[in-house]
Structure 1
Amino acid sequence: MSAERQLLIIEDDAAFARTLCRSFERRNYRVILASNLEQAEALLQQHSPGYAVVDLKLDGNSSGLACVQMLHKHDPEMLIVVLTGFASIGTAVEAIKLGACHYLAKPSNTDDIEAAFEHVAGNSEIEVTNRSTSIKTLEWERIHETLAETGFNISETARRLGMHRRTLARKLEKQRVK
């Protein structure tokens, strides 16, 4: 099988990773799995995938953004899609700047991801809305921007935002994208 049909999935949720893996294998991709940056680096020494799906928030010290940067540095032609349950404009912009071709909020299925791989070029025909950003949306984006800056440390994020840790935890639980 050619390298262009090889897919690297970097996802720390084992059940979700297996589901994605089986779904892409049914579409004739050869899938390799990693749960963090170190595993992905080790796999790249033996494999040359043309595609990658990266979870933004990984357990431990791994960051999906660091994975995107490493993958893009390894192969600038690799098509990288970032998946996240914690979507924000800040992390979307950073993911694209670091080399991702798309950024999708969970839940996203295999059809969404494959469409993102196929639709790499931008679309200048997309409609621009006149709706202004709400205070809640701005707050949500600021929280996630700070979460990313702190490596998803809730206590440090709460301190930087000047709010109680439990208040932040409640806001995150209330707004979680599933």
Structure 2
Amino acid sequence: MNEERALLLVEDDEAFARTLGRSFERRGYVVRNAASVEEVQQVLEEFSPGYAVVDLKLKNGTSGLACVQALNQHDPEMLIVVLTGFASIATAVEAIKLGACQYLAKPSNTDDIEAAFGHVAGAQEVELTNRPTSVKTLEWEHIHAVLAETDFNISEAARRLGMHRRTLARKLEKQRVK
């Protein structure tokens, strides 16, 4: 087995994991799957991946950040890409601090992920925008950060945000995240 092409896919959506896994296998990777931190630990006992793709939000309320930390502790040289449908600045910063090399918002395909593996070092050529972040975007990022802190408990998040639970529920209904 070519160790540098070994990939661990940490994803709890079985259909997505199967599709993404097959796509990487067609590109010459040896792929193993895990759906939780415990499964990651079990897989690492017999498999030493050089690459990992980790979903940020796993079922059972587990954060993929715990998986990123475990993978980085197992092998600090491993290239880890975090995928999420719940992108926020706070989780992106934490993922990088814990050892991820890149952070991608879903939907991302195999090409995007492979490009992220190849783009490990920072680039000074990234274009800076002159457009400031809108108040709505800042509000949404703050709401999402508080929701994540409360494990998506709307009542507790509303209390911490100082708003009525129904008001928060209406805001979330308008801004659905899939």
CA contact (8 A) 1:9 1:17 kept: yes
Q: Which residue of 2 aligns with 1:35?
A: 35
Matched residue, 1:123: 123
Residue equivalent to 2:132: 132
Structure 2, unaligned runs of 5 or more:
none
In the alignment, the residues of structure 1 paired with residue 72 and residue 44 of structure 2 have an alpha-carbon distance, to the nearest angstrom, of 12
TM-score under structure 1 length normalisation: 0.93
What is the CA distance between 1:149 and its match in structure 2?
Answer: 1.9
Matched, 1:20 2:43: no
- Where structure 1 has 5 or more consecutive residues not aligned to the other structure, the ranges are none
Give yes or no for the alignment of 1:85 onto 2:71.
Answer: no
C-alpha deviation, 1:171, in angstroms: 3.1
- Computed over aligned residues only, the root mean square deviation of the Cα atoms, in angstroms, reads 1.5
TM-score, structure 2 normalization = 0.93
Equivalent residue for 2:107? 107
User: In the alignment, which residue of structure 1 is the partner of 2:98?
Assistant: 98
Aligned to 2:54: 54
- CA drift of 1:166 comes to 4.2
Identity of aligned residues (%): 76
Residue number in structure 2 paired with 1:149: 149
Q: How many residues align?
A: 178
Of the structure 1 ranges 53-62 and 145-154, higher mean CA displacement relative to structure 2 is found in 145-154
Structure 1 contact 86–176 (Cα < 8 Å) conserved? no
Distance 1:152 1:78, change over 3 A: farther
